[in-house]
Each structure stands twice: as structure tokens, then as C-alpha cells.
Amino acid sequence: MVHFDNHSYTLYKVASTIYILSQNNLRPQHQGNQKDTRTRINAAIKAPELRIITDTGENLGILSLADAIKAAEERKLDLIEISPKANPPIAKIMDYGKYRYETGRKAREVKAKSHITETKSVQVKIGTGDHDQQLKAKKTAEWLAEGHRVKVDLFLWGRYKYMEAEFLKERLERFLKIIPADYKIADPMKKSPKGWTTTLERVAASKNKKPVILPADAKPKAEKKAGATEQKTKKKSLDDLLEVGLI
């Protein structure tokens, strides 16, 4: 860390203030009733009195601008106006470089946490194969997990447009049943210019739930197990009949 004597430190503070003011002057000038959002420090502060807080959180009370700048210089730090609209304005004694770093980090954290919700769209057809439907269902689940709304369209063409409404609804419901996520119907099924449509939304319970697609052979395995149990039962029945001498 570089150490200054009092005279050199005063010159350093004046030079840094002039530099910051010159950088502010390079910014586009505010016109009309637009608000000036630039942060004022040290001699650039205009308020005659300020409520002062130190970098350790200590409240020094209300001081004149001259006394506040003096208190900052004694600590070899900057006087930064952090709340100009307060009465009186609030200023903090801390290093200006550290202040810019902290405010920038907080802004990045807020931006990272903010999430833009979109309405995604997925289209299925009556002739869509099972594999393609599972891929579309998995993608729908991923969108729901991210917090997006998903519009599901059953696209109809040619003679399919004139089929019974109940049959078409059943085809759309068949796709909704294989979506591996919890959801609610935001917009009920209805006719659209291209077929039938509905909109889904994630429910709160699935906020942290990751979509999972069961293996394609999961159901056949279950059926195979049931078949094996049935065969075992039949064999046992035959053994019972042999014991009693009926066969």
C-alpha cells in the first residue's frame, strides 16, 4: 500500500476529483427533465450538509460538507454521496474504487437473478411418431422447469380439419399426458386457425424439479413382469391339482 504525507495526499485527492469530474463531463449531457444519475464524490457534492456513515457502518451524524470532506481525508478515503434524495443527503466515507466494484457486483447479481418469461411453442400432428412426441414432451418439460409458458398446438391439415372435436381433443390430451413435469392448464383447449391449442404453465411444486423421461422399455418390462407372475400362478395351480390327484 502506498503511503502519502498530508500535502501529497491533498494533491492526490484534488487530482482524483478533477479526473472524475472530467470523466463525468464526457458523458452525454442530460436534457429537459431527465434525472442526473451520476454519483458525486468529495468536492463535487453540492449539498451543504450531509448525514455521514463510515465504511465500518458508524453513523457520524449530520456534518457540513467541509467537515465531512475533512473526516474523509483524515481516513484517507473518499466522501461518496450515496443517497442524494434524502433529507439531508446521505454520504458514505469509503474508497471510491471499492464502492464502484460493490455497486457493479450487486447490479450483476440482480441481472443474473432476473428472469424473462417467454411463451414457447410446440407443435404436434396426428401422425407424429412416439419417439418424436417424447422428444417434444421432454423439451416442453424443460421449458416449464425454466418458468416459461408453453403453447401446445395440434396442427391439422386436409381432411383432419373435419374430424370430430372429441377425437382431436383426445389426441391433444394424449400428448399432454406424456409430459414429464407438473403443470397447470393456463388456457383451456380451443380451436385455432391451424387446429387445436392449449397453453401450459408450471406449478409451484415443480420449481426445482428436473424433467425426467422414463426409458422406452420401462412399460414393456412391467408387462413382462406381470406375465411372469401370471405364468408362475398357473404353474402353482397345476402342482396343486397333481397333489390332489385330479390330473
User: Residue 243: in which H helix or E strand, if any?
Assistant: helix 218-244
Query: Do the bridges between strand 49-54 and strand 59-64 make them parallel or antiparallel, or are there none, so unpaired?
Result: antiparallel
Residue 29 in grid coordinates: 449531457
Residue 236 in grid coordinates: 402353482
Candidates 2.60.120.700, 3.40.630.40, 3.10.20.80, 3.40.50.150; CATH matching 6-24+37-110: 3.10.20.80
Give the predicted TM-score (pTM) of the model: 0.41
Query: How does residue 53 score in pLDDT terms, banded at 50, 70 and 90?
Result: very high
The string of pLDDT tens digits covering residues 74-132 is: 989 999 999 998 889 999 999 999 999 988 888 888 876 666 678 899 999 888 888 99
- Per the CB < 8 A criterion, the answer to whether 156 and 196 are in contact is yes
Residue 170 in grid coordinates: 383426445
**Side by side, which strands form the sheet with 59-64?**
59-64, 49-54, 90-94, 78-83
- Strand ranges (DSSP E) for 111-182? 119-125, 149-155
Q: Spell out a b/e string for 163-181, using b for 16 or more CB atoms within 10 Å of the CB, else e.
A: eeeeebeebbeebbebbbb
User: What are the domain boundaries of the chain?
Assistant: 6-24+37-110, 119-214
The string of pLDDT tens digits covering residues 60-81 is: 999 999 999 999 999 899 999 9
Strand-pairing partners, residue 63, are 50
The 3 state secondary structure assigned to 23-48 is HHHHCCCCCCCCCCCCCCEHHHCCCC
The string of pLDDT tens digits covering residues 134-160 is: 999 999 999 998 888 999 999 988 888
- Per the CB < 8 A criterion, the answer to whether 206 and 179 are in contact is no
CATH number of 119-214: 3.30.110.10
Confidence at residue 235, expressed as pLDDT on a 0 to 100 scale: 47
